[in-house]
Chain A
Amino acid sequence: MTFLKLGLASALALGLAACSNTTDTAAVDPNAAGGTISETSLQYFNTVVGDRVFFDTDSSALDLTAQETLTRQAQWMQANASTTAVIEGHADERGTREYNIALGARRANAAYNFLVSQGIDGSRLRTVSYGKERPEALGSDDASWAQNRRSVSVVTGAPVS
């Protein structure tokens, strides 16, 4: 029993230690080592604005984080009026092929509707679903699956960096 307690305690300690990374130390410094990322660039969109939002299992509901990200996307696209985007909906591998295509379509459509509600012209957006065909994370565990349940906005018409 003592070993159990020790084990639990050390696991707890390790787990808590993982939380000690504060966000302060990971601040993105756009001016660090090597030049500026243009705010109109694709890289900026993908890394700063955030090109993707994530979903719960079997769901196409946008949580708060997703809505914030999409809001930033909409703002960026307002600022970069010549850009267009294809919104790709995806699903994790824990479902069947056809249903996952349909689910991905729902997710892409949810992102589309939100962007349109933020003032983006629908003609600048297209939606497509890849179902479970293009996973981002290759593992078969909850963390990987969470990364794969996503809607990604692929922007065209912007400089790369």
Chain B
Amino acid sequence: MNRSVILSGGLHLLLILILLFSGQIFSSDEVRAIQIAEVDIITGEEFDAAQSAAPDAPREVLPDLTPPEAGGSDVVAPDAVEPPSAQAPDAPEAPATEAAETAPDVSAVRDRAQVTAAPEPAQPSQGEPEGASSVIAPVGPTAPETARPTIAPSLTRPAPPRPAPRIADTPAPPPPTDARTADTATPEVAPGETAVEPQEEKPAEAPPEAATEIVPEVAEPVTEPEAVAPLTAARPRGRPDVQTAEATPPPAAPETQTETQTAAAEPVRAATPATQARPAREAATPRPARTPDVPVGAPLTAREKDGITLAVKKNWNVGPFQGRPDFRELIVTVRFELDQAGNVLGGKVEPVTPASPSGPYKLAYDAARRAVLRSAPFRMPPEKFGRWKVVEITFNPSKGIGY
């Protein structure tokens, strides 16, 4: 064998032996510090105490934020939504209402539940803080109690939003009960479901105001919507115009409802182009025949609206054209009418915006129309047929679909 091979082999062997038996070179891998998390031990009481920051506290504070004439319906929103628990806010309010006896200006803004509850404590609890407890008893068996379930939904209707609530010392005295019927007048306005909730309480106040003081109050609803930022760009308020119109011929009104409506129709149409952003739409859509026997019922709840929304969402297939670079701009609005069974009248789904879709907008309109027609018949509450007889849906892909 070659000497060089022997030498090389020997050195190799030496190297191997050194590596094998010297642990230092590899020792660092073997040391793994065990990580121990430093934790403090607390007792159960401490834990509960830590949780004691009360989320409920604002609820109790809310009744104190009694707004004056104009505002604060959103303040009473929690009360309105949960009729069963409305009794609780009533209780702390009851002592407050005693002081409110002196205040003649009604916050007609007050919650329905409070409307019904307030008269009771007002009587027995003259200067008695214990009136709180007595509130609950009379409220229970009284007639307004049974009406409460319908009242609460009425408070969920949207309406022109109010100015910011001002904190007043005096709570509102109860408005007349007949004002309640005016609640049904407020139309559905908000397109966005998330924004609906806070707004829905506000309209509860408008009709009672109209009932108590017609002339000055009428002006308010007209101006408020102007000041409020619409939910979407193309969402003018219809309601105030109607109120304006109705306010004008009060003397003639008692004769027939139809007369009033017809009279109201003209001023509405006149007022519409002035205040609304969609004169084209108003002119294009014929006023449906006013049938006084169309049940309107209370405003639709979000869940009831889901009867349309969820069905259409599922059937709105943008697959064939969602790859287009302009896809997110293809916002279309369609309008259709339903019969009592929820079928689309005549199978017609008309384009609203754009009024004559072409090019990629035609694709979007076709998909929108298809979505509606595939989803029919819709399951909607028949007693509120008037509210969903005519439907407008905006299909808005700008937030991306499926991502």
Contacts and interface: CB of A to CB of B under 8 A. Distances in A.
Contact of B29 (A1, A12, A20, A24): A1
Contacts, number: 29
Question: What bracket does the count of chain A residues touching chain B fall in?
Answer: 10 to 19
Interface residues of B, number: 13
Contacts of B5: 20, 22
Interface stretch (A2-10, A31-39, A72-80): A2-10
Contacts of A9: 16, 19-20
Contacts of A16: 12, 15
A22 B2 contact: yes
B4 A1 contact: no
Interface string A58-75: 000000000000000000
Contacts of A22: 2, 4-5
B26 A5 contact: yes
B30 A1 contact: yes
Contacts of B8: 20
Contacts of B176: none
A16 B13 CA distance: 10
Given A1-B30, A4-B29, A20-B8, A12 B16 contact: yes
A4 B26 CA distance: 9
Nearest to A22: B4
Contacts of A24: 2
Interface in B1-56: 2, 4-5, 8-9, 12, 15-16, 19-20, 26, 29-30
A20 B20 contact: no
Given A20-B5, A22-B2, A5 B20 contact: yes
A17 interface: yes
A151 B20 CA distance: 45
A13 interface: yes
B19 A8 contact: yes
Nearest to B11: A16
A132 B16 CA distance: 43
Interface of A: 1, 4-6, 8-9, 12-13, 16-17, 20, 22, 24
9 contacts: A1-B26, A1-B29, A4-B26, A9-B16, A9-B19, A12-B16, A20-B9, A22-B2, A22-B5
